[in-house]
A and B are shown apart, each in its own frame.
Chain A
Amino acid sequence: MKKFFKLTLMTIMLSAGVSFSGESSCRHDDSIGCMICSFAKVAGNPGACMGSGSDCGNQIICGGGPQQ
């Protein structure tokens, strides 16, 4: 039960956001006014991201630009 709870939590966390594919790391989504970025995980270095990709958690940064 505990394992199920943990896995469920992890799944919810990992599935949050918008999934997309492509070679570009970032793009602006006009429909929601947000910058959407996606990067690739770095093999051998858990927690690190690099380059374009779609497996490192999608970042949505709103407000017309990525940095407030």
Chain B
Amino acid sequence: MKTLNIPCFFLVVFLNSCEFSDKSQNLGKQFLPKIKSVQLPLDEKSTYEFFIYQVVGDSLLVLNQVNYSVDIYSLSEEKLKRRIHVEREGLNGLERLNTFHYHNQDSIFLFRQFQLNNSLIVDINGNVIDRIQHNEFKSDIDGLINHVGTPLMPTILIEDELHFTVFQMTDESIENHDFTYEHSLNIKSGDFTSYPYIKKPKSFHNNRWVNETFSRIKIDKEEWYFSWNLSDSVYHILGKDGVLNQSKPIALNGVIATNPEPVPKNSYKEYWPKMMAESYVYGKILFDNDNNVLHRIRYLPIIPSPTFNLSTIDPYLNKNFEILTHTLDGEFLGSTEFKSGTYDPRVLFMGPDGIYLPKIHPSYEGLNEDEIVYDVFNIQ
């Protein structure tokens, strides 16, 4: 028996030490198989930093910060189809272009950072259709609106209302439990509506945490799937006329309780790196319309080491991660795990053929300035 075990042990050690092309990017179990790769060419005016984007059918729209344009790629044809140029200044210009929202070919919203007033509405050819004008908005810094609009919480037009998320601009408001994150702007009247019933969960009050933000999916004017990044549950929230009707917690945790620990308030910056490394933290949530399931990114705990670089790149890129797949009722279907070092899980998206995960990690050996490659995963 002993003589059989020793060779087996060395075989296991040998196999674990091998790096196979695809398997080296993944850990053990894989609920979502990789079904294909998509390569999009990058011209001399584009970088692979596809951070602000929107998927519309087969098209991937990307905010090109370098070129000051919205670039439209075909995911099936794997090519750049169109480029909408934005002027930086002047009568038709827009300073500090930061995010966008494509509503239809005649209404593409281009937003300024920290302000909504004077944001541009252009058509698919780049012609200026209108500018946003609005009435007073009550903010934690007068005159500024820290509307986020990133793919984790995109700004979206529903009928005449532009629905958006704001983040806090002062440290005081970060600790304010009553801070209101969700708002809408009626683009015809210029009036704002706030949704104060969406608040930080009570379990996170009176403490600081390694992550105090969220990802959300907007379903309708007053309907969200709201995913706090340290909460094992995702909340299906329904309201009507500014009043909360339902906040239903759905356990989307892969049947593992993550038990987050608060960060000592007085030494937040000192403790944060180590606690961040050792914590589970959730990331983007995706609604898979074809399979009627929810996917949720979860960053996994690691042991901090000298290679855990917190100063030069986003710490989330140092953590292994998994995609948890559940039914809308919370039944756990499976997990798909990945090692860090190849993908950027912060900016994955739900596309026409599944989950598109970009191979743009700064340490990825195949990083290429002439193309961006997405591996596509889907339920088989």
Contact = CB atoms under 8 A, between A and B. Distances in A.
B347 interface: yes
Contacts, number: 106
Nearest to A12: B66
Interface stretch (B69-77, B144-152, B257-265, B301-309): B144-152
Given A43-B314, A44-B316, A6 B66 contact: yes
Contact of B98 (A37, A42, A47): A47
Taking chain B's interface residues, is the majority helix, strand, or loop, or is none over half, making it mixed?
loop
Interface residues of A, number: 31
Contact of A66 (B143, B171, B346): B143
Contacts of A5: 44
Contact of B315 (A10, A43, A52, A68): A43
B96 A48 contact: no
Interface in A26-68: 26, 35, 37, 39, 42-52, 57, 59, 61, 65-68
B369 A46 contact: no
Nearest to A44: B316
Contact of B170 (A42, A51, A65): A51
Given A47-B98, A51-B169, A37 B346 contact: no
Contact of B369 (A6, A13, A52): A6
B89 to A, nearest CB: 13
A48 B315 contact: no
B65 interface: yes
Contact of A50 (B142, B174, B316, B347): B174
A67 B314 CA distance: 31
A67 B115 contact: yes
Given A10-B47, A65-B143, A25 B169 contact: yes
A44 B66 contact: no
Which of A6, A39, A45, A57 has most B Cβ within 10 Å?
A45
B144 A45 contact: no
B369 A50 contact: no
A49 B174 CA distance: 12
B346 A49 contact: no
A42 B213 contact: yes
A35 B142 CA distance: 11
B320 interface: no
Contacts of B167: 42, 48-51
A6 B44 CA distance: 8
Contacts of B99: 47
Given A3-B369, A6-B369, A44 B146 contact: no
A10 B48 CA distance: 12
A2 B146 contact: no
A18 interface: no
Contacts of A67: 115, 117, 142-144
Contacts of A61: 143
Contacts of B148: 45, 47-48
15 contacts: A9-B66, A37-B141, A39-B169, A42-B167, A44-B229, A44-B299, A45-B148, A47-B52, A47-B148, A48-B148, A48-B150, A50-B174, A50-B213, A52-B170, A65-B143
Interface of B: 44, 47, 49, 51-52, 65-66, 96, 98-99, 113-115, 117-118, 141-144, 146, 148-150, 152, 167-171, 174, 211, 213, 229, 276, 281, 283, 299, 314-316, 346-347, 369-370
Given A13-B66, A47-B99, A66-B144, 14 more contacts: A2-B44, A26-B141, A42-B213, A44-B283, A45-B213, A46-B314, A47-B98, A48-B152, A50-B174, A51-B170, A52-B171, A59-B113, A66-B115, A67-B117
Interface of A: 2-3, 5-6, 9-10, 13, 23, 25-26, 35, 37, 39, 42-52, 57, 59, 61, 65-68
Which 3 residue pairs spanning A and B have beta carbons closest together? A67-B143, A66-B143, A46-B51
